[in-house]
């Protein structure tokens, strides 16, 4: 396994639309090795998720995992999940305001409206079907990662630029109110 370099905002790869992966490709040792690298890189950087495009591979694969994450201590755990060719569909029209950050956008967070309830269809790393409805912060994480596969970054979706903050100023001025709001959300929708 190897830790890969993470592309930073401004690099054109982050603005590409990643291409679908075929079943044969997914079964190949090269892609399976790549998925191991993606997971290792995500964990090394304390990311809640990482899309292949962020490590310069414009293919539709992302990894998600939350487990006592020091960058996001308020996030409920998400077991390691690899999504291949994911398709997301909002369920209903409820949204919530998520304070997001990104390993490709250094030292910046901002508020993005995300669907609260989300239907997820994808393959896992073995090509088996994932078909589930996710909620709340978990749904927000999925939407952030799948945006990457379409060349989008969270800053594109920040509707009020006055919410932009460094991580230090987030801790100082925004965290308490945000954690209070998302705790209420987690208590209501379960994640
Ligand atoms: Zn990101």
Has residue 128 been placed in a domain?
yes
Domain of residue 161, CATH code: 3.90.45.10
**Is 62 contained in some domain?**
yes
Element (H, E) at 101: strand 95-102
Whole-number Å distance, alpha carbon 101 to ligand 1 midpoint, is 7
C-alpha 9 – ligand 1 centre gap (Å): 10
Q: What is the pLDDT of residue 76?
A: 85
pTM: 0.95
**73 falls in which pLDDT band (50, 70, 90)?**
confident
Closest CA to 7 of 158, 151, 156: 151
* 139: Cα separation from own chain's centroid: 9
Residue 134, domain member (yes or no) = yes
**Residue 121: inside a domain:** yes
Res 68 pLDDT > 90: no
* CA 50 to centroid of ligand 1, rounded, Å: 7
> Is the CB of residue 88 less than 8 Å from the CB of residue 129?
no
Could you report the per-residue pLDDT of 101-118, keeping only the tens digit for each?
999 999 999 999 999 999
What's the 103 CA to ligand 1 centre distance in angstroms?
A: 6
Which residues are marked as active site?
145
Q: What is the pLDDT of residues 24-65, one digit of tens each?
A: 999 999 999 999 999 999 999 999 999 999 999 999 999 999
Q: How many domains would you assign to the chain?
A: 1
In angstroms, the CA 35 to CA 65 distance is 13
Smallest CA-to-CA distance from 166 within 114, 110, 116 is with 110
Res. 71: pLDDT tops 90 = no
Q: Give per-residue pLDDT as tens, 124-169.
A: 999 999 999 999 999 999 999 999 999 999 999 999 999 999 999 9
**What is the model's pLDDT at position 2?**
93
Q: Assess whether pLDDT exceeds 90 at residue 100.
A: yes
Residues 6+ apart with CB under 8 A from 67: 77, 78
Distance CA 148, CA 9 (A): 11
Q: How far is CA 111 from CA 100, 105, 107, 144, 152, in A?
A: 6, 14, 14, 12, 15
For β-strands 78-90 and 95-102, DSSP reports them as unpaired
The domain in which residue 44 lies consists of 12-189
Residue at 6 is within a domain: no
What angle do helix axes 136-149 and 175-189 make, rounded to 10 degrees? 110
Asked whether residue 146 is assigned to any structural domain, the reply reads yes
Distance CA 191, CA 135 (A): 6
Over residues 172-181, mean pLDDT: 94
- pLDDT for the residue numbered 67: 87
111 within some domain: yes
* 126: Cα separation from own chain's centroid: 20
């Amino acid at each position: 396994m190897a830790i890969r370099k993470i592309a930073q905002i401004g690099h054109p790869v982050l603005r590409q639309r990643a291409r679908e992966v075929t079943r044969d490709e997914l079964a190949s040792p090269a892609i399976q090795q790549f998925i191991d690298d993606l997971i290792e890189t995500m964990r090394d950087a304390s990311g809640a998720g990482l899309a292949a495009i962020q490590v310069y591979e414009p293919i539709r694969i992302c990894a998600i995992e939350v487990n006592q994450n020091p960058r996001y201590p308020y996030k409920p755990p998400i077991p390691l999940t690899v999504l291949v060719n994911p398709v997301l569909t909002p369920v209903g029209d409820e949204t919530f305001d998520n304070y997001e950050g990104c390993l490709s956008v250094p030292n910046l967070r901002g508020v993005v409206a995300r669907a609260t309830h989300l239907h997820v269809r994808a393959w896992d790393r073995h090509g088996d079907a994932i078909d589930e409805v996710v909620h709340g912060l978990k749904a927000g994480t999925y939407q952030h990662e799948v945006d990457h596969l379409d060349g989008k970054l969270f800053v594109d979706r920040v509707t009020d630029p006055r919410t932009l903050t460094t991580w230090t100023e987030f801790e100082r001025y925004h965290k308490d109110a945000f954690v209070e709001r998302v705790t209420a959300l987690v208590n209501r929708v379960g994640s």
